[in-house]
Amino acid sequence: MTIKSSQTLVSEALKEIKTISTDEAIKMVNENQCNLIDIRDIRELEKDGKVEGAKHIPRGMLEFWLDPESFYFKEGKLDMDKEMVLFCAGGLRSALAAKSLKDMGFKKVSHIDGGFGAIRQSSFKII
């Protein structure tokens, strides 16, 4: 049995998904064109801070919270017609998560290159 490495899964996901810069993400947020979604673990948010205006959806619940058929669907939490812009700490989990949303049928999905590490170096406000 051959098991794909997590690195292989991320590499494959990056070929299929849209990756955007922090500057592109800031522009989309300022123009109200997207849902900015932080998929980091709650402990990461408590330790490192949150991005002002971002919605927190833990990686483990993402598909369930965004599936209207799911018991866990969060009605009204997000504008389902806007682009879903995901980020994690460094960009690996968000790449896999973006591919998962694409596989679910979401057309407008992207993730931020470099994740929260890059966001900290940008003009996003950390609270």
What is the average pLDDT across 87-93? 97
The parent domain of residue 64 ranges over 6-120
Count of domains forming the chain? 1
In a domain, 127, yes or no: no
Tens-digit pLDDT profile for residues 115-126: 999 999 999 999
CA-CA-CA-CA torsion sign (28, 29, 30, 33): positive
User: Residue 86 sits in a domain of what CATH number?
Assistant: 3.40.250.10
pTM: 0.95
pLDDT of residue 74: 87
Q: Is residue 125 part of a domain?
A: no
pLDDT over threshold 90, residue 13:
yes
Please report the pLDDT score of residue 89 as a whole number.
Answer: 98
Assigned domain for 16 exists: yes
Q: Indicate whether 20 belongs to any domain.
A: yes
| 3-class DSSP assignment, residue 98 | helix
